[in-house]
A and B are shown apart, each in its own frame.
Chain A
Amino acid sequence: MTDTALSTRDLVAGYEPDLPIVRGVDFRAGQGELVVLLGPNGAGKSTFVKAIAGLVPVHSGTMALSAADITAVPAHEKIRHGLAFVPQTENIFATLSIHDNLRAAADILPKDRRARRIADLYAMFPDLAARPSLRAGQLSGGQRQMLAVARALIVEPSVLILDEPSAGLSPKIVAEVFARLQAINRAGVTIVLVEQNVKAALAIADRAVILVEGQVRHEGPAAGLADDPIVAELYLGARRREAAP
C-alpha cells in the first residue's frame, strides 16, 4: 500500500454545532492517487472537503496530511502544509487581475521562489499568460477554473482538493479540465476530486468513495464502477428516498 497523503478518522463536521452534515467519515488518499468523491446531492461531499480545508467547523475526529495531524490547523495555514483547495464557486478573485491572483497565492512563498513559480504556471497555462493584466472576473468559466487550479498549484502542494470543477462548464471544457488534472496527477500531486459528473470523473480516477447522508457507503477502485449497479443503487436509492413523501 502506498504512503498516505491525506486521511481522516471518524470526521464529524457541520456549520451548526448541533447539526453534523459529515457524520463520521474515514477517508484515505494514497500518495499520487486520484480519488473521486461521489454521492447524491446533500450527501455532504462539499462539506467534507471544506472541513478538511478548514472552512467548516470540525466537531470531532481527526485529519492528517501524511503523518502530520492538521485537525486544529487554521484555514490559512493548511496551504503551508501542502494542502491546496479549489472551492466550487467563487474560487478566484474576480476583482484582481490574473497576475495579482497568482501573486496573492505566491506571496506565502519565499521571495526567491515566487517569480519562478509564477513563470512555471504561465508556461503550464499559456491562456493565462496571454493577458496577465486582465481582470479575472472577465474570464470565461473554463478559464476561471484554469486560473483557480493554477493558483492552487503555485505553492507546489502535495495534495490538491477540488470541489466540482466541472460545475457549469460545457463538456468540451470539462474534458480539457480533466485532462489537465490527469497531467497534474501524473506529475505526482495527489488529487481528491468531488464530482457530480460521475462518468467523466471515474474515467480519470484511481479510486472512488461514495458518500451518502454524511457517511461512506462504498469505496474501491474506480475502474468499472461506472457500470456497477451499486452506484445506481446508492444514487437512485437515495433519490427514491428523497422522492418518497
Chain B
Amino acid sequence: MTPQVVMDGLITGAMIGLGAIGVTLTYSILRFANFAHGELLSWGAYAALAAAGALGSVSGGLLTPIGPFSFGWALPIAALIAVAFTGGLALLVDALLFGRLRDKRSSIIILVMASFGAALTLRSLLEFIFTSKPAYYTKALQIALPLGGGLRATPDQLLSLGIAAILVLAVHLMLTRTATGRAMRAVSENPQLAGVVGIDVRRVVRTVWLMGAGLAAIAGIFAGLLVQIRPQMGLDLLLPLFAAAILGGIGSVPGAMLAGLIVGLSEALAVQFVGAEWRGAVAFAILVLVLLLRPQGLFARPQ
C-alpha cells in the first residue's frame, strides 16, 4: 500500500465529506433521505461551469491560471455564483415539492419517492442542457508536487483539502456557537418544541437547504475540478454521500467529514486491492456494515 493511496483517499474523502455534511444537516432536520441531494452537486458544478464560461468570454484575463492553480479568477467568482444559484434551486424544489408534501403531512415514503423523481428530473435536465459529454473547468494540466514521505498532490488538490477543512470548522462553529446553529439543532431534535420556544421552523428549514445546497455545490465544483464534470456525477456520489452521513451519525458535522474520509480511504484501498471497477460497491459495503452493526453511526446523537 503506497502512501499515495492514502493521499488519493483523503482527497476523495474530503469531497465526499463536504457533500455528506450537507446530507447530514438536511437529513437531520427534514427527516427523510433526499435522493436528489447528489443532483445539487452536479448542478453546482455545471452552474460554475456556465458562469466561468460566461465570465471567461467577457474577459479572457479571468481564465489565466492563478499562481500554481489550474484555474483563473473566473472559477472562484463563478463558484460564488454557483453556490447562490444552487441554494436558490434547492429552495425552489422545496417550495414546489418537498415543502408542499410536508404540509400535506405525507409519509416518508412519498417524500423519498418524490426526491427520487426530482433527482431524475434534475439529472436529465442537465443532460438535456449540456449533453452527457464530460466537461472540464480548465485544460491546464497540473503537476503533482512532492510533499515528502512519498506523497504527491497537485496544488488544486491541496486547495480542495484546505477549503474543505475550513468549511468543516466554519459549519461546526456555526452550529455550536450561533443562534442559527442552536435553532437548527433544536429543530433537528424536536420541531414542535422548537416552535414553542419561539424558533421559526420554516426559516430554519430554508437556512438548512441553503447551507446543504451551498456545501454540495462546492463539493461538486471541486469534484469537477479534480476529476471531471458529467451529469451523472451526483448520482455516482449519492451512495458514498449517504454512507458517509449515516456512518458519521445523522446530525453530526464532524462525523460526516470523518466518515467521508473513511469512505474515501476505503475506496482508494479497494481500488488498490480489488480493482477500480468495484469502487462503487465499497460505499454500499460500508453502508450495510454500519446499518447492521451500529446504525446510529459513529457520533450518534445521544438520547
Whether the complex brings A and B within 8 Å at their CB atoms is answered yes
> Within 8 Å of chain B (Cβ to Cβ): is A61?
no
Please measure, in the bound complex, the distance between the C-alpha atom of A17 and the C-alpha atom of B146, giving whole angstroms.
68
Interface centre among B179, B189, B198 (most CB of A within 10 A): B198
A94 and B193 contact, CB distance less than 8 A: no
B189 and A93 contact, CB distance less than 8 A: yes
Given the contacts A100-B182, A107-B179, A107-B183, A95 and B196 also touching, CB distance less than 8 Å: no
**With a CB–CB cut-off of 8 A, which chain A residues contact B198?**
76-77, 79-80, 105, 107-108, 155
Q: Indicate which residue in B179, B189, B195, B199 contacts A96 across the interface (CB closer than 8 Å).
A: B189
Interface centre among B179, B194, B301 (most CB of A within 10 A): B179
**With a CB–CB cut-off of 8 A, which chain B residues contact A44?**
none
**With a CB–CB cut-off of 8 A, which chain B residues contact A108?**
198
Question: Please, what's the 1-or-0 string for B261-303, where 1 marks a CB less than 8 Å from any CB in chain A?
Answer: 0000000000000000000000000000000000000000111
Listed A/B pairs (19) with beta-carbon separation below 8 Å: A53-B196, A55-B196, A74-B195, A75-B195, A76-B199, A77-B198, A79-B198, A87-B193, A92-B193, A93-B186, A94-B303, A95-B189, A96-B185, A100-B185, A103-B182, A105-B197, A105-B198, A107-B179, A108-B198
B190 and A137 contact, CB distance less than 8 A: no
A90 and B190 contact, CB distance less than 8 A: yes
**With a CB–CB cut-off of 8 A, which chain A residues contact B121?**
none
Given the contacts A76-B201, A107-B183, A155-B198, A95 and B302 also touching, CB distance less than 8 Å: yes
From residue B48, how far is it (CB to closest CB) to chain A in Å?
A: 34
Interface residues of B in 231-254 (CB under 8 A from A): none
> Within 8 Å of chain B (Cβ to Cβ): is A169?
no
Q: Which residues of B pack against A, CB within 8 Å?
A: 179, 182-183, 185-186, 189-190, 192-201, 301-303
Inter-chain CB contacts under 8 Å: number? 71
A75 and B193 contact, CB distance less than 8 A: no
Interface residues of A in 71-121 (CB under 8 A from B): 74-80, 85, 87, 90-96, 100, 103-105, 107-108
Interface centre among A78, A85, A93, A96 (most CB of B within 10 A): A93
> Within 8 Å of chain B (Cβ to Cβ): is A14?
no
Q: Which applies to chain B's interface (DSSP): helix, strand, loop or mixed?
A: helix
Please measure, in the bound complex, the distance between the C-alpha atom of A143 and the C-alpha atom of B97, giving whole angstroms.
42
**With a CB–CB cut-off of 8 A, which chain B residues contact A76?**
194-201
- Looking across the interface, which residue of chain B has its beta carbon closest to that of A76? B195
- Looking across the interface, which residue of chain B has its beta carbon closest to that of A103? B182
**With a CB–CB cut-off of 8 A, which chain A residues contact B199?**
76, 104, 107
From residue B176, how far is it (CB to closest CB) to chain A in Å?
A: 8
- Looking across the interface, which residue of chain B has its beta carbon closest to that of A83? B196
**With a CB–CB cut-off of 8 A, which chain A residues contact B189?**
93-96
From residue B136, how far is it (CB to closest CB) to chain A in Å?
A: 43
**With a CB–CB cut-off of 8 A, which chain B residues contact A74?**
195
B195 and A55 contact, CB distance less than 8 A: yes
Question: Please, what's the 1-or-0 string for A128-168, where 1 marks a CB less than 8 Å from any CB in chain B?
Answer: 00000001010000000000000100010000000000000
**With a CB–CB cut-off of 8 A, which chain A residues contact B192?**
55, 87
> Within 8 Å of chain B (Cβ to Cβ): is A30?
no
**With a CB–CB cut-off of 8 A, which chain A residues contact B303?**
94-95, 137
**With a CB–CB cut-off of 8 A, which chain B residues contact A20?**
none
Question: Please, what's the 1-or-0 string for A35-78, where 1 marks a CB less than 8 Å from any CB in chain B?
Answer: 00000000000000000011100000000000000000011111
Please measure, in the bound complex, the distance between the C-alpha atom of A80 and the C-alpha atom of B200, giving whole angstroms.
12
Q: Which 4 residue pairs across A and B have the least CB separation, nearest first?
A: A108-B198, A75-B195, A107-B179, A79-B198
Q: Indicate which residue in B179, B195, B201, B301 contacts A95 across the interface (CB closer than 8 Å).
A: B301
**With a CB–CB cut-off of 8 A, which chain B residues contact A96?**
182, 185-186, 189
A104 and B301 contact, CB distance less than 8 A: no
Interface residues of A in 11-25 (CB under 8 A from B): none
Please measure, in the bound complex, the distance between the C-alpha atom of A208 and the C-alpha atom of B199, giving whole angstroms.
32
From residue A108, how far is it (CB to closest CB) to chain B in Å?
A: 4
Please measure, in the bound complex, the distance between the C-alpha atom of A55 and the C-alpha atom of B182, giving whole angstroms.
21
A93 and B193 contact, CB distance less than 8 A: yes
Please measure, in the bound complex, the distance between the C-alpha atom of A108 and the C-alpha atom of B200, giving whole angstroms.
10
**With a CB–CB cut-off of 8 A, which chain A residues contact B183?**
104, 107
Please measure, in the bound complex, the distance between the C-alpha atom of A156 and the C-alpha atom of B301, giving whole angstroms.
31
Please measure, in the bound complex, the distance between the C-alpha atom of A135 and the C-alpha atom of B182, giving whole angstroms.
14
**With a CB–CB cut-off of 8 A, which chain B residues contact A92?**
193
